[in-house]
Amino acid sequence: MSMKRFLTALLVASLAAACGRTSPAPASTAADPESRTPDPGQRKYLLERVDDAAVVQLYADSFNSLPLREKTLIWHLYQAALAGRDIYIDQKHASALEMRGILDQIVAHPQGIDPATFAEIQRYTKYFWINNGPYNNLTARKFVLKTTPDAFAAAAKAAQAAGATFATRNNEGTASSRSGDAESLDALLKRLEPMFFDPNVDASVTTKAPPPGKDILTASANNLYAGGVTMNDVKGFTEKYGLNARLVKANGRLTEEVYKIDGRYAKEIAAIVQHLQDAIPFATEPMQNALRALIQWYRTGEQGDREKFDIAWVADKASPVDTINGFIEVYLDPRGIKGSWEALVFSINPEKTKAIKTIGDNAQWFEDHMPYDAKYRKSDVKGIIANAIDVIVETGDSGPVTPVGINLPNDQRIREQHGSKSVSLANVVEAYDKSTPGTMRGEFSWTPEEAGRGAKFGSFADVLHTDMHEVIGHASGQQAQGFKGTPQQALKEHFSALEEGRADLIGLYFVADPKLVELGVIPAADHDGIVLAEYEGYTRNALVQLRRVREGATIAEDHMRNRQMIVRWLMANTKAIEQRTRDGKTYLTMVDRQAFRDGVGKLLAEVQRIKSEGDYPAAAKLFDTYGVHFDPKQRDEVVGRVDKLNLPSYSGFVMPKLTPVMGADGKITDVTVSYPLDLTTQMLEYDGVVKR
C-alpha cells in the first residue's frame, strides 16, 4: 500500500465544512523581511495568490524549545530533504529541470526586461515552483506561459546581459555552460518552446483515463518511463525494481534504471546519503537503525533492503524527531507502481497527540467492528503508532503542496506483520486554518443551519476524519487468503483512488459511532452536530471540488475521484443525498444521516472486498460509473460561483528556514529557525541561484 494522504486535504475539508476562502493578499513584488521570532498574534500566513493557488507560510513553533542534540539532528535531516528536490522535478518531466533553470535565471536577473513580460514570467515561475514542474498538482494538466516566444527570448537575453547563466546542451546532449561546444541560448529556448507554450504537447503528466485507443503510459508525460513504453510492453516483463527505477525501452528491449547511489540520480542520492550519515550520531538508537537501513537501500536499490528499512522505521516507536525520505507515493505513475521521491522532517507535538493516539491505541476495536466480511479483518492488529507532528520541511512530492495526514509504510505485507505509523501534521493544519477564513459557508449550503454547523464543528470534524482516515483507515484490513502479488499490481490505475476511498469510508462510518464519545475523543453534547457537519460537508465537496477541473469532463486526481465516487454512489444507491436547485444554483444536500451511514457501510464492504481480492473489473466499473466523469455544465456553474469569491483551489507552503550557528571549533552550537515569508526568496535559495 502506498503512502496515503489527503493531497491538500484540509483545503478540501475546509471547503466541505466552511465552503470557502477569502481573497488572498495581492502578490508582492519584493521579498518581505525574513522573520525570526514572529508574534503569533501578528503572524502573516497568507502571503500571496498565484492563479488558483494560495501561498502560505508554515511555522514550526516547537523547534526553538528542542534540545541542541535534536536541533542538530533536524539540521542534517533538513539538508538531506533539500538535497533530493531535483529528483522529483525530473520525475515530473524530462525537461522540467532545464525549464526551471531558465526561469530561475530570468527571475533572478530582471534588469532590462519589459515589465509586462517579466510579470507574466514571475507568475508562471511561481506556479511552476508550487507544482514542482509545468503541471497542475490537482488536474495533472499542463499550464503554459501567457506571453510570446519572442518576448520570452528577449527576456532571457536581457537576463543574460545582466549576468544570468544558462545551462545549455553540448554536442553530446548533456548540460554544459561552456560556449565552445554548447547549443546557443536561442537553440535552447527553441527546443523547449513547445513545453513552455503549447498546451497540447505533453498535455497531461498522468493520464489514467485516456481517449479510446490511447495507452495510459504514452498518454502520460511523466519521466517514470522512457522510449515509448506501453502497457503491452510491460505485460510479461518482471520488474525487479518496481518502486525505485525508471523503465526504459530501447531497441525493443526493456531495462530498469535503478534509483541508487551509483545509478540514476546518483549525484542527488549521494548527497542525501552523506547528510543522513551526518545525522546518525545525533539520533536515538532505534532511529539510527532506521537511518542505516535507509542508507543501505539508497546504496543497493534492492527490494529486500527497502523492506528492512520499512521494518526498522516502524520499529522506532518513540523517537521525538523523525523523517520520511525516499521513493514512496505512486500517484504520479498511471500504473500505480513507480514511487515519487519525497522528504519530510518533523518533531512530535505531544500536546496535540492525544486524540490521534487514542484512536491508534484502540485500533483493534475498530478493526473488529468494521462493516465488511470478517475474513478481511485483522485478528491481531500490529502496533499502530499515531502522533501529531510539527513539520520543519517538506520537499519533493510532499512540498510545497503538502499533506495533512500520512500513514506508512507502503508495503501491505509489512503493515500486516509489523504495523504502521500515522501522523497528523499539526502545524500544517493550523496554517491552513489561519490562512483560509470561511467566507463561502453559505454559498453551497442549502440552509443557514447547515452553514452554521460547518462554522461551529467543521474544523474539528475535518481533523477527526483525517485522523481516522490515516490511523484506522489505511492501517486496516487484510488481503484474502491465497492472494498473490500486491493490491497495486492487481488493481493497477484504480488502486490509489480505491484505497483513498476505503480510508475515507472508514472515517465516515466511525465518526458517527458512540465509541468515540466513550473514548473521550468527541464531547457527547457535540456528537450529533459533528456528525452532521462531516456528512454535510463531505457531500457538498463532491460538487465544489469541480472548480479545480476547469477543462474536460473527467477527473484525474485520485483523491478527487474517490470523493466523487462515494457521494455519487450514495446518491444512486440510497436516499441519503438529494440534488436540489434554487435560483439557478445547484446544491448537494445530505438529508438522511442514518441512510448516509448505512450506505457508507455497504459501500465500504464492497470496496474492501475489491481490494482484498484484487478485483480489477469491479474497481474499474465502480470508478467509471461514479468517480471519473462529470457534467461540464455543472462544473461551469460551480466555477462561476466560486470565481466571484476569488477562492483558491489549493495551497503551496513556504517552509521554515534553518541556519546553524557554528562555534570556533567548527561544531554546531545552535540551530535557529526563521521564516522567509516569500516564495521567490526560498525557491531561488533552494535552487542555488542565490546564497542560502
Co-location of 529 and 633 in the same domain: yes
pLDDT of residue 384: 78
pLDDT of residue 537: 94
Backbone φ and ψ of 423, nearest 5°? -135, 145
CA 431-432-435 angle, to 5 degrees, is 80
pLDDT of residue 36: 59
**Domain contains 178:** yes
Q: What is the mean pLDDT of residues 599-625?
A: 97
What type of residue sits at position 566?
Answer: I
Is residue 297 within 8 A of residue 305, CB to CB? The reply is: yes
Taking only the tens place, the pLDDT of each residue in 8-44 is 333 333 333 323 322 222 233 333 445 555 566 679 9
Co-location of 62 and 177 in the same domain: no
The proportion of the chain whose per-residue pLDDT surpasses 70, expressed as a percent, equals 91
Co-location of 664 and 636 in the same domain: no
pLDDT of residue 548: 85
pLDDT higher than 60, residue 112:
yes
Query: Where is 245: in which H helix or E strand?
Result: strand 245-250
pLDDT of residue 355: 84
H runs (alpha helix) in 19-148: 68-83, 85-92, 96-108, 115-131
Q: 74-88, 250-264, 347-361, 524-538: lowest mean pLDDT where?
A: 347-361
10 versus 201: the higher-pLDDT residue is: 201
In angstroms, the CA 287 to CA 293 distance is 10
Is residue 497 within 8 A of residue 565, CB to CB? The reply is: yes
pLDDT higher than 70, residue 7:
no
Q: List, in sequence order, every beta strand (DSSP E) within 402-460.
A: 405-408, 420-425
Strand partners, 169: 175
Taking only the tens place, the pLDDT of each residue in 144-175 is 999 999 999 999 999 999 999 999 887 555 66
Q: Whole-number mean pLDDT of the chain?
A: 90
In angstroms, the CA 103 to CA 95 distance is 13
pLDDT of residue 435: 86
Q: Say which residue the cell 463531505 belongs to.
A: 538
**Domain contains 410:** yes
Cα distances from 147 to residues 115, 143, 201, in angstroms, run 12, 12, 17
pTM, whole model, 2 decimals?
A: 0.85
In angstroms, the CA 396 to CA 327 distance is 10
Provide the angle, in degrees to the nearest 10, between the axes of the packed helices 593-613 and 616-626: 140
Is residue 541 within 8 A of residue 12, CB to CB? The reply is: yes
Co-location of 490 and 520 in the same domain: yes
Co-location of 671 and 637 in the same domain: no
In angstroms, the CA 109 to CA 111 distance is 6
R_g over Cα of the chain: 24
pLDDT of residue 550: 85
Co-location of 470 and 612 in the same domain: yes
Cα distances from 272 to residues 244, 338, 676, in angstroms, run 15, 20, 24
**Domain contains 253:** no
Q: Is 277 left (phi over 0), alpha (psi -120 to 50) or beta?
A: alpha
pLDDT of residue 671: 98
pLDDT higher than 60, residue 5:
no
From the centroid of its chain, how far is CA 136?
12
Taking only the tens place, the pLDDT of each residue in 53-73 is 999 999 999 999 999 999 999
Taking only the tens place, the pLDDT of each residue in 248-283 is 999 999 999 999 999 999 999 999 999 999 999 999
Co-location of 472 and 574 in the same domain: yes
pLDDT higher than 90, residue 391:
yes
Co-location of 418 and 499 in the same domain: yes
In angstroms, the CA 320 to CA 283 distance is 9
Co-location of 505 and 566 in the same domain: yes
Co-location of 96 and 128 in the same domain: yes
**Domain contains 454:** yes
pLDDT of residue 183: 87
- Report whether the peptide linkage leading into residue 409 is cis, meaning its omega lies within 30 degrees of zero: yes
3-state SS assignment for residue 675: strand
pLDDT of residue 17: 31
In angstroms, the CA 491 to CA 612 distance is 10
pLDDT of residue 37: 52
**Domain contains 421:** yes
- Grade residue 177 by pLDDT with cuts at 50, 70 and 90: low
In angstroms, the CA 439 to CA 16 distance is 13
Sheet with 225-226, strands from edge to edge, namely 225-226, 245-250, 253-258
Co-location of 456 and 330 in the same domain: yes
The proportion of the chain whose per-residue pLDDT surpasses 90, expressed as a percent, equals 76
**Domain contains 237:** no
- Report whether the peptide linkage leading into residue 67 is cis, meaning its omega lies within 30 degrees of zero: no
Taking only the tens place, the pLDDT of each residue in 274-306 is 999 999 999 999 999 999 999 999 999 999 999
Backbone φ and ψ of 197, nearest 5°? -125, -20
Most confident of the following: 370-384, 426-440, 493-507: 493-507
**Domain contains 280:** no
Closest CA to 589 of 565, 571, 601: 571
Domain that holds residue 384: 10-19+32-39+46-66+320-477+484-648
In angstroms, the CA 379 to CA 656 distance is 43
pLDDT higher than 60, residue 312:
yes
Co-location of 565 and 666 in the same domain: no
Cell of 76: 542534517
Most confident of the following: 40-54, 362-376, 458-472: 362-376
Looking at the 3D structure of the chain, how many domains does it have?
Answer: 2
pLDDT of residue 356: 86
**Domain contains 238:** no
Q: 10-24, 378-392, 604-618, 672-686: lowest mean pLDDT where?
A: 10-24
pLDDT of residue 20: 30
